[in-house]
């Protein structure tokens, strides 16, 4: 293989798609079915929850990805028949403590974020609960139906003769020839490649640790709940007090999410369920009469400032990283994977790669 990618979430699948389309032979490995960890568990808002609270490194990736998502969705639907449902609804933030900072950021970044009178908000979002005092709104913010996105990416890769998926194939460590990484060791034996990309989400730190390299990526648990409503119940995404509601086209509404440091435990808890339901009913009282159809947990790959690691690992020729996207893996995936491909193929990168470079951030 030219490239082996460890991790079959949205980052690994999209990186394989981009590199495969460039003619490279690519293998993707995942310890379970592809796309079933944090890529499946998240909400799919195509924006950081509070974009003004992040560094310019996250903003640069987010803006590129937001512009790219509509065509990615159309391309995958045309190729596979699976619609990732990139759904443009806009997003209302309610009663923000740092509203002034948000508006100043939007003015500097030229993003369409503006205050809205609450009467207008209630007219635009009829199920919104009472008691909220202020709102700002950004038009054009989309959400993607992330389980269908990963399914579409997987289907696209299965149609590419130069890409191989190794599912339910856990990677235990790396194969080395001196200081060069030449492949991975798995439960099924060794697989070799010219280059290895570590894109294993919350598990990336543990895997890199087998080489004696400390990668500050740790699991951060998040729990979500899902309701089934009428298709026109919620016309826009809403966010208040750190919790959000996301409408899907068919009437499903996601509400999330918790932030918990609980190691690799993905067990949903009754405490989180009650907390999420309370937030849901405060935001959208009508959800109290809706069917609760799901409650689950996933593990985000927490990293310093939420800035991912993208690029080669110093001292280990052939080893590359694309991991540590924290809460924004789905948002940042298109730009992150395009940047990785640009660096691997020695092309002009879409954005300055310096903020993500492992060489300056590890050790």
Distance CA 147, CA 237 (A): 18
Is residue 130 assigned to a domain?
A: no
Torsion sign over Cα 331, 186, 340, 70: negative
The sheet carrying 189-192 orders its strands as: 171-177, 180-186, 189-192
In a domain, 286, yes or no: no
Domain assignment of residue 166, yes or no: yes
Average pLDDT, integer, range 26-47: 97
Strand partners of residue 142: 88
β-bridge pairing 237-240 and 243-247: antiparallel
Residue 247's alpha-carbon distances to 54, 172, 224, 228, 232, in angstroms, are 25, 39, 13, 10, 9
What is the pLDDT, as a whole number, of residue 39? 97
Asked whether residue 182 is assigned to any structural domain, the reply reads yes
Proportion of the chain above pLDDT 70, given as a percent: 100
Write down the pLDDT at residue 286: 98
List strand residue ranges (DSSP E) for the chain, in order.
3-6, 26-29, 87-88, 91-94, 113-116, 135-138, 142-143, 163-166, 171-177, 180-186, 189-192, 195-198, 218-228, 237-240, 243-247, 252-256, 291-302, 309-312, 319-323
Which DSSP category does 305 fall into?
G
Q: Is residue 347 part of a domain?
A: yes
> Which CATH number belongs to the domain containing residue 199 in this structure?
3.50.50.60
Which range marks the domain in which residue 352 is found?
Answer: 1-89+140-217+303-363
Using one digit for the tens of pLDDT, what is the confidence trace for 71-102? 999 999 999 999 999 999 999 999 999 999 99
Residues 6+ apart with CB under 8 A from 202: 37, 38, 217, 218, 219, 220, 264, 299, 300, 301, 302
Residue 98 belongs to some domain of the structure: no
Question: How does DSSP classify residue 251?
Answer: S
What digits encode the pLDDT tens for the residues 99-147? 999 999 999 999 999 999 999 999 999 999 999 999 999 999 999 999 9
How far out from the chain centre does Cα 4 lie?
21
pTM for the structure as a whole? 0.97
Q: What is the pLDDT of residue 231?
A: 95
**Into how many domains does the chain fold?**
1
pLDDT value at 270 more than 80: yes
CA atoms within 13 A on the CB side of 33: 8
Of all residues in the chain, the percent with pLDDT exceeding 90 is 99
Within-domain flag for 239: no
What are the pLDDT digits (tens) for 271-300? 999 999 999 999 999 999 999 999 999 999
Q: Is residue 51 part of a domain?
A: yes
Distance CA 193, CA 206 (A): 21
pLDDT value, residue 313: 98
In Å, what is the CA distance from 195 to each residue of 17, 54, 130, 315, 337? 16, 31, 55, 14, 15
What element of type H or E holds 329? helix 329-344
- Who's near 104: CB < 8 A, 6+ residues apart? 52
């Amino acid at each position: 293989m030219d490239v082996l990618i460890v991790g079959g979430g949205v980052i690994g699948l999209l990186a394989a798609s981009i590199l495969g389309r460039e003619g490279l032979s690519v293998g993707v490995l995942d310890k379970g079915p592809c796309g079933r960890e944090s890529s499946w568990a998240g909400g799919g808002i195509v924006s950081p929850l509070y974009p003004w609270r992040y560094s310019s490194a996250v903003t640069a990736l987010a803006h590129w990805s937001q512009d790219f998502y509509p065509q990615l969705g159309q391309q995958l639907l045309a190729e596979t028949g699976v619609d990732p449902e990139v759904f443009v609804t806009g997003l209302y933030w309610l009663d923000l403590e740092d509203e002034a900072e948000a508006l100043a950021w939007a003015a500097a970044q030229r993003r369409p974020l503006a205050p809205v009178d609450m009467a207008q908000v209630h007219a635009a979002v009829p199920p919104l609960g009472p008691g909220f005092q202020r709102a700002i709104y950004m038009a054009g913010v989309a959400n993607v139906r992330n389980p269908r996105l990963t399914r579409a990416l997987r289907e696209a890769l299965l149609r590419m003769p130069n890409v191989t998926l190794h599912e339910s194939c856990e990677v235990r460590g790396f194969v080395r020839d001196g200081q060069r990484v030449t492949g991975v060791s798995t439960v099924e034996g060794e697989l070799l490649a010219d280059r290895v990309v570590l894109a294993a989400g919350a598990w990336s730190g543990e895997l890199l640790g087998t080489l004696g390299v400390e990668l500050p990526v740790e699991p951060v648990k998040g729990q979500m709940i899902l309701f089934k409503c009428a298709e026109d119940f919620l016309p826009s995404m809403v966010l208040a007090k750190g919790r959000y509601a996301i409408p899907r086209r068919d009437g499903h509404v996601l509400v999330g999410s918790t932030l918990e440091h609980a190691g690799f435990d993905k067990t949903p808890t009754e405490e989180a369920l009650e907390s999420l339901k309370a937030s849901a009913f405060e935001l959208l009282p009508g959800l109290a009469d809706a069917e609760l159809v799901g409650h689950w947990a996933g593990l985000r790959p927490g990293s310093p400032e939420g800035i991912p690691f993208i690029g080669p690992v110093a001292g280990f020729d052939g080893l590359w990283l694309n991991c540590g996207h924290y809460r924004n893996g789905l948002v940042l995936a298109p730009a992150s994977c395009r940047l990785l491909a640009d660096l691997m193929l020695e092309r002009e990168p879409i954005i300055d790669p310096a903020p993500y470079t492992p060489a300056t951030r590890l050790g």
